[in-house]
Structure 1
């Protein structure tokens, strides 16, 4: 399998109301990139949040007493802490300059996934309200306009337990399964796999992150081409929910 990771470099700064599907197709075309069958299109969550008008004006928030106390413990700005609390269903752990939360979506991540980068000073973007729905809407528009079968992943950058550094992960997906259950397949020595599940959507989001970058690269959309398991995992009703580990199996809490 030979995989190509193609960044679309001329995507403009996204604003509320922008049609991301049209922007992706038009700017890809400007760069001589044709959307092809079985392309997997990875979009940074900040671009989706901006297009949907899901932006927090931190200056407008009035920090609660709880936010003020957490601000003192973590060293984080009290207004940002208030935003984090509002986007969370549970505060799991506090540390120096981080707050581990369970978001309204069920994700366990730092600071409820709220991002202050690549947006005007004093504002922040939370995780899109319904990333799977957003991915589905964008995929359907792209498929209608191009007459190609594609998948769309909305990605975020998150840390991991016991590991330094952050990687790209999938928070929304449409057009293919997020997990690949390979139970029953044989390994190199003929042994049958018992419990092997591969988080293919996270692997793809992480691969896209290599090209997207984290700073001023300005590449919020990446096309991954040549993934040979696309047909196996093709499913227009799939979503990211299988990635969420049930609480009773979450040994890290």
Structure 2
């Protein structure tokens, strides 16, 4: 039997810039080796002076690496951390009116500092997770996720293992840092004033003292590695615009057969193999549509100078890095 306990203590004061989080936490909890300390990003940001006067909309441009999607008043962006979140995780709740709280500049570094401070003062080896609230694609509501971590295996890899029925697992990789974050949010609540929590029962996930691990950044897919780099409307817009700066979220070039199938579905014509990639039987009037299809698949039109355009034929080729 495995027992997992989550404790979210009362009694934490309002956090101000420069506050020592370890000093605030330690009187509230009785830690043991192998515990996982969880702290909300909001109090980390407050202690690090990441509170700004103004509104979310005013702060959003500075926290945005690129816009993923917009729907009415909601803007989903990829932050400079690589996180994809509504309003870049900027929070206007539980903060003085007229101000907002930005995410920590480096949540993994924040987690490392807290872990080191706890070890220095208690001699205990714990893991640390910094959390924030996020929505999920295809799901209503929000849950807490790990935006920072230290001294913790943030995911487990079950690929290659065999289940009780003899089936080999292929891509099973529980994001345990996110699961810990979600469990702690149940105990902390949104209005309870409990920014800290302690998880006990998964010491197997805690790394040896001095080894901080990959951090939560390891859970962030690289640009272009996500199947949903843009919202549906935004993907169409960027493919039609064809700006090279927008290519990365579309991912690596698709296989020739995949692009050929798309050309057949949209333009109703076949695409033949060519030395440079594919040759499509369309005239110049259809070149803009073909260019958008190519862009969305990581390809491009072959320039006229390459000798790939003749009457009624247009060439396309994969984009090289």
Shorter-chain TM-score bucket reads 0.7 to 0.9
Equivalent of 1:227 in 202, 213, 219: 202
Q: 2:159 aligned with 1:211, yes or no?
A: no
- Aligned pair 1:41/2:49, yes or no? no
Q: Is the partner of 1:217 in helix, strand or coil?
A: coil
- Structure-2 separation of matches of 1:84 and 1:46: 16
1:129 aligns with 2:105: yes
State how far apart, in whole Å, the 1-side matches of 2:215 and 2:202 are: 19
DSSP 3-state at the match of 1:187: coil
Contact between 1:90 and 1:102, CA under 8 Å: does it hold in 2? yes
CA contact (8 A) 1:49 1:126 kept: yes
1:24 is the counterpart of 2:25? yes
Partners of 2:83 and 2:220 within 8 A in 1: yes
Partner of 1:50: 46
Q: 1:23 offset after TM fit, Å?
A: 0.9
* Contact 2:64/2:79, CA 8 A, preserved across alignment: yes
Kept in 2, the 8 Å contact 1:180–1:233? The answer is: no
Bigger relative contact order, structure 1 or 2, given CA contacts below 8 A and separation 6+? 1
Question: Aligned partners of 2:96, 2:18: CA distance in 1, in Å?
Answer: 17
Aligned residues: 227
The Cα shift of 1:226 comes to: 0.9
Runs of 4+ aligned residues of structure 1 deviating over 4 Å after TM superposition are: 231-235
Unaligned runs of 5+ in 2: 231-321
Task: Note the residue ranges of structure 1 that are not aligned, 5 or more in a row.
Answer: 29-33, 59-78
Q: Does residue 1:91 correspond to 2:67, yes or no?
A: yes
Contact 1:153 1:205 in 2 (8 A): yes
The two structures, once aligned, show a CA RMSD in angstroms of 1.5
Deviation at residue 249 of structure 1 after TM alignment? 2.5
Tell me: CA distance 1:143–1:232, structure 2 relative to 1, closer, same or farther (3 Å): closer
CA distances 1:51-71 after superposition (whole Å, capped 9, x unpaired): 01111111xxxxxxxxxxxxx
CA contact (8 A) 2:207 2:213 kept: no
Q: Structure 1, residues 185-222: CA drift from partner, whole Å, max 9, x if none? A: 211212221221110000000000101112x2100000
Q: Which residue, out of 68, 74, 79, partners 1:103? A: 79
User: TM-score if structure 2 supplies the norm length?
Assistant: 0.68
1:66-77 equivalences under 5 Å are none
Q: CA deviation at 1:231?
A: 5.0
Q: Deviations over 1:9-61 (max 9, x none)?
A: 11101001110011100232xxxxx1111110110000000001111111xxx
- Preserved contact between residue 7 and residue 219 of structure 1 (Cα < 8 Å): yes
- In structure 1, what is the Cα distance between the partners aligned to 2:73 and 2:141? 15
The answer to whether the 8 A contact 1:40-1:223 is kept is yes
State which of 134, 140, 146 in structure 2 corresponds to 1:164.
140
Report how far residue 246 of structure 1 moved.
Answer: 2.1
Which of the pair has more CA radius of gyration?
2
How has the CA–CA distance of structure 1 residues 228 and 35 changed in structure 2, closer, same or farther, with 3 Å as cutoff? Answer: closer
Structure-1 separation of matches of 2:50 and 2:70: 26
Q: Which residue of 2 aligns with 1:246?
A: 222
- Say which SS state the counterpart of residue 12 (structure 2) adopts: coil
